[in-house]
Amino acid sequence: MRTAFTFAILLFFFFASAQHNPYPQQYYRHPLNIKMELVSNFGELRTNHWHMGLDIRTQQRENLPVYAAADGYIAQVSVSPGGFGRAIYINHPNGQTTLYAHLNNFEPKLHQWVIDQQYAQQSWAIRLDLPPSLFPVKKGDLIAYSGNTGGSQGPHVHFEIRDTETTKCLNPLLFGFPIPDGVPPSLTRLALYDRNKNVYAQTPQLLALSKPGANYTLASGSTLKVGSNRVSFALGAVDRFTGVANPNGIYSARIEMDGVLQSQFILDSIDYNETRYMNAHIDYRYKAVGGPYLQHLSRMPGDTTRVYTRTPTDGVLELNDTDVHDVVITVQDAAFNTSRLTFKVQYNEAQAKAYTPAEEQLVPLEVNVFERDGFELYTTEYTVYDTVNITYKEALSAAAASPLYTFASHTIPVHDSVTVRIKVDNVTPEDRNKIIIRNVAGTRTTVTKGDWNDGWVTAKFRQFGTFQAFVDKTPPVINAPGSGSVIDLSRASRIVFTPTDNFKELKNFRAELDGQWLLFTNDKGRSHIYRFDKYFTPGTHTLTVSVEDEAGNITTRSWQVRR
């Protein structure tokens, strides 16, 4: 009785905490001068991460003015081919930082200052820390123009609010932005798991939902009979804003059995060091084979984040009798609109099925070692989220420096990197520094240069799948910017290079004009583009381009060009 009372108190505490909003309201303004509408919200599910801010619509346009959300100073600027593209970080006196990403250009003075720094460091990709006195801003000051740079798939502004000291991202929807939301989350499906085996060794049983009244229930009836005495659930759920059709992520969900909290997650603050744990939060395998997102209502054993509330069961329901138990699942959005799913669950031993675990397994929170004659793989204690049944095979290949090794399935997520060692025979000393390992996981291919040591090549990867070593002595290919002994660029506004490589991995690109570095952009990691500036004066010059691939092969070409 005392235990039940204690958990009832905890349940009340966690429910109250989920609805308590500790953040100041209206401290920040909308960073654009148009109606605030969202493409994506905080906590939306993405590949290998939660979405850590708001994606604000720009009416499918670029180059809209972007304004400082509050007083402060520009503390950091970054430019990169992926990720945030061009981004600005503003520190505010309240101890928080706002981020504005996927920008086309910065405001003119800042834009020129960044270009000067890129030329000084001879690098287009750059991250710059600024002192408070260099670019102070007031709330509403112009700081940039919206765009589609970096990992963006369409014009928008990505906006974040962070705790400056910890860099933890805070849910901006808790800060009172003018986004009407009177719509509760929609619950689309429930998934059942037998937790006497790991989640990757099973396909969940999908349960359809209906909503005959105020609450959701199971379409098949109010009582769910299960063949396991240890079960957990995952939920398909989306949220929408008032008058907006596109689906967004939910804010929180919790599961109770017989009035006792079993598990709860709240997406109010997440650190970028934690965001890859989204792969533990979802049924990664089910999504990888083409299924929809399912969010676990239980914490995986290898999940070390604070996204989930820790409880004695961590969301695995222990059915130690054949009684009928009441289950309530409560889902909220950031405006605390609420949806509930209620049903009953009962253990039925007649439905139980035997399960024999694999002889070799990877275990969460332990260092795992797998060794064969020509292949070895090592994990850290934080590599896997749940127990993983090891599958392994090798196939001979005449076109490579090693057999093709298949380890586990690419549908099983990897958190920390795995270290792979492959034995390579009959390689000349001069070829040892040209060995790469290619890892293929479904549609994702990663190529990494290996470290040679006494006949073994070592590299690290963040996915399972196939691994194979190659000797790569083929240099990249660079296209010419035009034709003729002296290439006439007098009518051009830019120069474009799209180098290619046999393994499709380029490590470095460098262009010089008469020996002086030129600023070529490389948005989204595609073509390298130079737009004429003051460093390319009229006349005839020597343009030299050098490209290096992952194996260290370098191609250098020069042309006479005239502007």
Work out the widest C-alpha separation in the chain, in whole angstroms.
Answer: 91
- The helix (run of H) or strand (run of E) holding residue 126 is strand 126-129
User: Which tokens is 560 given?
Assistant: 């006479």
User: Which tokens is 114 given?
Assistant: 């960044």
Per-residue pLDDT for 174 more than 90?
A: yes
398/333: higher pLDDT? 333
Query: Residue 11's pLDDT band (boundaries 50, 70, 90)?
Result: very low
Cα–Cα distance, 174 to 268 (Å, whole number): 8
pTM of the model: 0.92
Q: How much is the pLDDT for 265?
A: 98
Percent of the chain with pLDDT over 90: 92
Per-residue pLDDT for 1 more than 80?
A: no
Cα–Cα distance, 269 to 121 (Å, whole number): 35
26/475: higher pLDDT? 475
Residue 99 · residue 53 · CB < 8 Å: yes
Q: pLDDT by residue (tens digit) across 261-295?
A: 999 999 999 999 999 999 999 999 999 999 999 99
Q: How much is the pLDDT for 355?
A: 86
Mean per-residue pLDDT over the chain, rounded:
94
Q: pLDDT by residue (tens digit) across 60-96?
A: 999 999 999 999 999 999 999 999 999 999 999 999 9
Q: pLDDT by residue (tens digit) across 30-58?
A: 999 999 999 999 999 999 999 999 999 99
Query: Residue 21's pLDDT band (boundaries 50, 70, 90)?
Result: low
Q: Which of 395, 454, 517 is nearest to 115 (CA)?
A: 517
Cα–Cα distance, 438 to 435 (Å, whole number): 10
Q: pLDDT by residue (tens digit) across 312-344?
A: 999 999 999 999 999 999 999 999 999 999 999
Residue 436's Cα: distance from chain center in Å? 25
Amino acid at 229: N
Residue 557 · residue 512 · CB < 8 Å: no
Residue 69 · residue 24 · CB < 8 Å: no
What are phi and psi for residue 412, nearest 5 degrees? -105, 125
Which residue's structure tokens are 């605030």?
36
The helix, strand and coil proportions of the chain, stated in percent and rounded to the nearest 5, come to 10, 40, 50
Q: How much is the pLDDT for 389?
A: 95
Q: Which of 389, 543, 557, 397 is nearest to 467 (CA)?
A: 397
Q: How much is the pLDDT for 353?
A: 87
Q: Which of 483, 447, 450, 482 is nearest to 466 (CA)?
A: 447
Residue 29 · residue 139 · CB < 8 Å: yes
* Segment 195-224 mean pLDDT: 95
User: Which tokens is 88 given?
Assistant: 């600005």
Q: How much is the pLDDT for 561?
A: 97
Per-residue pLDDT for 6 more than 90?
A: no
Query: Residue 356's pLDDT band (boundaries 50, 70, 90)?
Result: confident
Q: How much is the pLDDT for 9?
A: 40
